Amino acid sequence: MLSARENLTHGMASNVEIVIPDFMDCTGPEHADWQHFRNMFEEMSEVTSAQQAEPGGVPSFPGFHPALAHEAERLNWKWFGMLHDGQEDYPPGAASFYHSCHFHNRSEYCLYGHAAVLTYLAKYTAEKSQSQTFASHAMRLLHWSHCLDYIESSTWASWGFSVLTTWDLVQNFGYPQISLLHQYLDWGPGTLGSSLMSAPSAAESSGFWIFELGTHRALSNEPASMLKQVLWKYDAVYENPVKPYEGRAEAFTHPFPESCSPNCPYQQDGVPYTFPVFEDMEESRRGFHEWLKGHYFHKAEIRKASLLMCTNPIYYCNFFAGLQKTVLGYFGLPLLYMVPKDSWSSWIDEFITMAALPTSFFVSNNRLHSEQVAWQSGVRLHVIRPVVAYLKEPYNPQRWGDILVPEPREACVLHCLLRAFKPASYPFNFWSKADTDRTIKTFMTFRAVALFPHDFALMTFYEFYAMGVPLFMPSHLSKYLFPFSASVPLLDWTPARIAKQAGRPPYSPLSLTSSAALEYWSSSIDFFALPGIQHFDSIASLLRMLPSSDFESMSSRMKENRRVRVESGAPFWSAVAASALRDGLL
């Protein structure tokens, strides 16, 4: 599916025997009802693969056969009661899998078998609406967030089946209830309160003021720390009147109580989903200008040494329009995030105008984001990846037998699957962040990190990478479908004049809703592009890979890449500082 990645292992550990849990493969005696379908599914996959002669021996999803279609239809009707009947996070079939994983409950039901049944029916049903219904049922069985989708770690994947097979039929997210959170900003005397940092006194070195508007603390840390390095002769004063989000994107600790799980009251993972929208930019911008000029820019020392910075959302850069100051934009989320739909067109025009100014220094923190901005505006931003100078804790492996597996936003069965796959004599243990004190210092002591991401602009990834912590990440593209990321089709809108430009890519980098789109853009995703990272195609392959991995070599490759990026990025940060200081001479 993907081109070959780096291999920094000493050869697979052949003596590690991995057994796929039966509740995934459904080969046990209680799954006798599924055996006939499994056998037919496998046989037809082999026939189809031979007919299509796929390069590299990639298995093909089974072609049409009347007997297989009849068996699929029979099983779907028999287990129809396991499908969703409302907005619940976990349909009955999903709940059965959840209980088998967490509480070792045995069941005659087969979740991945039912998903294969529904996908087969969807693929070969002539009626489009019925096909979409089958496919949607298959997707819902795997949860809104796909947190039950580890099909690639089962033998069902050996027959050309993965959630991407279903995705190519649906090519859309089955969003739960979307709730827009309308936000307004008022500027007045109490905006900053007691959090104001005092300006340097006359006896101290000169001050330099960084005024940011941003809601994402981890994203803001990167440009703020780099500016402080190049402005080392100054006492940098950092101000952000918007209280940023400082936590990690985590939902709940699983398992939920067995008595009510997995649909326990007040513990729904995905319903409703809040999508923030910022309203009334024009009025708020006037208020911000008055507030900034009245509180700060009337002071000569601040006018002489200050800059304006916007991060997330990019829309906040609009507050700085017309202030005649250097503006640093350090971006990771899409251009239309938090922008009211009625303002999409005008905002893109305003962004294009701002980006063209000589005092605007706008960059993306990853290549995929740069492609997303170019797709919607025609503006191609330079990429300055995070080097994480704000973290001082080095990689210091002391827990030689421990692997950290940070919970993605929706990790409903990840850790119970790792326990189910792990042999009794396996040399490594897996730990979640919930098992630790959640400090960077502790994270740096683990031997390595197995990271299942939930977003393409994941700062946790860049933090681990910059510190040289060996990283293991999934290679299967199904693990890069992010229903609740900001990089979703909800924000994929392009002005007609941009959309008609020649030479545009065949797929949108914002609508990664097919295997073809993911494959096309995979080379722009840093999880695959940066050196030193090891990729596994299943949970079993991760377990086989770890004992033979060259952790030291992985760490060295990552640290060297960071060192090169520190050097190559230095002229940019120096140019930003120089522009801001020139402002003070005007």
pLDDT at 2: 47
| CB-CB neighbours of 402 under 10 Å | 17
What is the spatial distance between Cα 122 and Cα 327, in angstroms, rounded to a whole number? 51
pLDDT at 9: 59
Question: What token pair was written down for 430?
Answer: 């897996």
What is the spatial distance between Cα 549 and Cα 12, in angstroms, rounded to a whole number? 8
Contact 217, 245 (CB under 8 A): yes
The torsion angles phi and psi of 158, rounded to 5 degrees, stand at -70, -15
Domain ranges of the chain: 22-170, 181-389, 399-566
pLDDT at 100: 96
What is the spatial distance between Cα 227 and Cα 210, in angstroms, rounded to a whole number? 9
Q: Each residue's pLDDT tens digit in the chain (586 positions)?
A: 444 455 665 554 556 789 999 999 999 999 998 999 999 999 999 999 888 865 556 789 999 999 999 999 999 999 999 998 877 889 999 999 999 999 999 999 999 999 999 999 999 998 999 999 999 999 999 988 889 999 999 999 999 999 999 988 887 766 655 566 677 777 654 444 333 344 555 445 589 999 999 988 889 999 999 999 999 999 999 999 887 665 444 456 788 888 888 888 766 544 445 667 778 888 889 889 998 988 899 899 999 999 999 999 999 999 999 999 999 999 999 999 989 989 999 999 999 999 999 999 999 999 999 999 999 999 999 999 999 999 999 999 999 999 999 987 678 999 999 999 999 999 999 999 989 999 999 999 999 999 999 889 899 999 999 999 999 999 999 999 887 676 667 889 999 999 999 999 999 999 988 899 999 999 999 999 999 999 999 999 999 999 999 999 999 999 999 999 999 999 999 999 999 999 887 6
pLDDT at 200: 54
| CB-CB neighbours of 340 under 10 Å | 16
What is the spatial distance between Cα 331 and Cα 372, in angstroms, rounded to a whole number? 11
What size, in residues, is the chain? 586
Amino acid present at 288 = F
Q: For residue range 247-303, what is the model confidence (pLDDT) as tens digits?
A: 444 456 788 888 888 888 766 544 445 667 778 888 889 889 998 988 899 899 999
pLDDT at 193: 39
Query: Which of 150, 165, 117, 162 is closest to 23 using CA atoms?
Result: 150
Question: What token pair was written down for 571?
Answer: 């002229």
Tokens 């200008």, residue? Answer: 289
Question: Which DSSP letter does residue 244 get?
Answer: -
Instruction: Please report, for residues 244, 357, 414, 453, the alpha-carbon distance to residue 407 in angstroms, rounded to integers and kept in the order given.
Output: 22, 41, 8, 9
What burial class does residue 446 get, using C-beta atoms within 10 Å of its C-beta: 0-12 exposed, 13-18 middle, 19+ buried? buried
pTM of the predicted protein model: 0.92
Amino acid present at 411 = A
Contact 176, 272 (CB under 8 A): yes
| CB-CB neighbours of 2 under 10 Å | 14
pLDDT at 487: 61
Contact 479, 502 (CB under 8 A): no
Amino acid present at 152 = E
Tokens 């901005």, residue? Answer: 373
pLDDT at 283: 85
240-257 burial code (b ≥16 CB/10 A, e <16): bbbebeeeebbbbebbbe
Residue 146 zone, left/alpha/beta (φ > 0; ψ -120 to 50; rest): left
Contact 101, 416 (CB under 8 A): yes
Question: What token pair was written down for 281?
Answer: 């930019």
| CB-CB neighbours of 134 under 10 Å | 24
What is the spatial distance between Cα 112 and Cα 148, in angstroms, rounded to a whole number? 10
461-487 burial code (b ≥16 CB/10 A, e <16): bbbbbbbbbbbbbbbbbbbbbbbbbbb
Q: For residue range 41-50, what is the model confidence (pLDDT) as tens digits?
A: 999 999 998 8
pLDDT at 57: 67
Tokens 């930003």, residue? Answer: 576
Instruction: Please report, for residues 25, 124, 305, the alpha-carbon distance to residue 127 in angstroms, rounded to integers and kept in the order given.
Output: 30, 9, 66
- HSE-up of 389 (CA within 13 Å, CB side)? 18
- HSE-up of 495 (CA within 13 Å, CB side)? 20
What is the spatial distance between Cα 450 and Cα 239, in angstroms, rounded to a whole number? 35
Question: Which DSSP letter does residue 9 get?
Answer: B
Q: Which residues have CB under 8 Å from 114's CB, separation 6+?
A: 75, 76, 79, 82, 93, 138, 141
Instruction: Please report, for residues 109, 140, 209, 269, 357, the alpha-carbon distance to residue 173 in angstroms, rounded to integers and kept in the order given.
Output: 26, 10, 43, 16, 37
